[in-house]
Structure 1
Amino acid sequence: MVQIKRKVLAITVVLILLATIFTGCNKESLKSSLDKNVVAKVNGVKITKEDFEKNFSIVEKSYSKWYGEDIWSQEIDGKTLLTIVKQQILDKLITEELILQEAKKMGIKIDSEKVEEKYKDFSKQLESNKELKKFYEEKNIDENFIKKQIKMELYLKEFRNKIFEQAGLNDEKKLQELIKNYPIKVRARHILVKDEKLAKDLLKRIKAGEDFAQLAKEYSEDPGSKEKGGDLGYFSRGVMVPEFEEAAFSLKKGEVSDLVKTRFGYHIIKTEEIKTIEDLIKDGLEKEQIEKEKKIAIDYIKESKYNEKIKELKENAKIEKFEKNIK
């Protein structure tokens, strides 16, 4: 099977931008400072190494506590967890700066009283946790940093709501209509091979009319489905790796994909059956389970719309990364 958890790592820290002011430097020394103290630029706005390090220290503390210090040297797809987490934090900082810029263009404003209220609540919790308070003091995670995190969290919430509002996804009637024919589960076959040339040849043979299941039995390198003609049975969203899932759920019944590359190799996917909410109702699924599936479908529809907007922002932005400064 090609199943894998979609979120190997969960980074829940809200990341925000801090400005670094350089004074008393000539052009050469200023450039040198920028090289060392800036980890990225988003449409000309700097993301500082200081901001990055504070955010990383929070994540590092949590992971070390949960999994132990040895976790950082463990590898996933040839990269250490340390490298992966640092790259994720950098990407999240960049995304949030993009959102902050767009939110301000949309006219979104954050009430300072809400920030103060949330900060007071957080301060009370911090006071009762001596260990965490000491850690924050050691890392210079001060009031200004915390308040900016809180403000960013509020911006994110308002930004998401604005995106959903613009797409009409806050309208319950529209949502119910959308999910009627939304693919909830699919039954698919696949052929998995490591060699790209072989994958291309197999795809040509399938398009020429050769039997998909037979070719899967002969060539697929997935031991879990090979003998079943590549049949993976029915599966819901969130089970397969993202690239595989996106292809399988976007195909029509009986349609075959182009080559889909994942960490496992090259896949050719054929979607055999599609189940919608209406189909599940006809199948006699219990009402409680139907409502659960509807909620999952709505969450995916909203998340897809949100991700489309983030993708659009990234495509239209000037983003510079200085990854040497996060090693």
Structure 2
Amino acid sequence: MENSEHPPLETPSSTTTLPWLRVRWQLVVKILLWLVAFFILGVAVFSYGIYRVRWQNPTVSTITKVLPFPAAMVNWRIVSLYEFNSRFDAYKKAITYNQDYDFSDPKNTDDIHKQQDALLTRMIDLKLEEQLARSRGISVSSDEVDRELETIAVQAQVDPSNLDDLVNNIYGWSRQQFIANVVIPQIRERKLQQAVASDVTLNADALARAQDVLQQITAGGDFAKLAEQYSDDPSSKPQGGDLGWNPSGAFVTEFEDAVSRLEIGKTSDLVTTQFGYHIVQVLGRTGEGTADAKTHVRHILIATKPFTDWLAQQTEQSKVWKFPVI
């Protein structure tokens, strides 16, 4: 009987399929390498154009919005070129809103470069302050933002409901852009300033002086004479610390809160603000409960370590790079 068995079906061996896989993978790798090379070349070309030739056009603006070309770096954190240019555009709009200044006039080139350098330095400071505030557990709440917006509206003498329109007319910003670029950094900086002023290790001498002056007042000392003798506020010191009549919102938050709690003729404990330690007295009130309410206040200020000095020290201890964008 004949053998009816069929020979086993042949299956592709690894020796026959491996060369094809190798060819395919080699092709994929080559394509990827070319793409990476073109990307690196494109970045290099744009870097040259941005930092050396100073390209300024809509295409560059679009690319820098997508790719974070740095204008500066602070402890490896980027201040992006797009952010810098956007802020300077807003600055130019605000300047031309308030005065007649021609940014296209070649005669103003040197002055404009100084303004750009000042803006970049300020943005570096704010980036560092953001890091320092985070390290100290300082954050900004939505309630603080709302209160700051109300204060800004009072200072600008506009109804809070019209503040958004004013901001857009001056800066060309939306409400959220104004909060991100101005309000939050402003609150954060003030809270950081207060934290530095409250740091006893930095301000032991100032605290001792303030406590001594407060003790003298508590013992019956003449407030005005002590203000003339000890206060570090040059504007009110000659008047015995008298700040005159002021509406609500005229002072920084911590000072304002102390004033609102004090009864007429009473003296506060030490009040810490970004300026230092204050001893506050309320001398009178008028128009209470109305929009025209004012308070007559005097104070003695014992200044703490200047925040600018402290920030300069922190900057020296940080890694900061400025790129040639001006």
Q: TM-score, normalising length from structure 2?
A: 0.46
Structure with higher Rg: it is 2
Q: TM-score, normalising length from structure 1?
A: 0.46
Bigger relative contact order, structure 1 or 2, given CA contacts below 8 A and separation 6+? 1
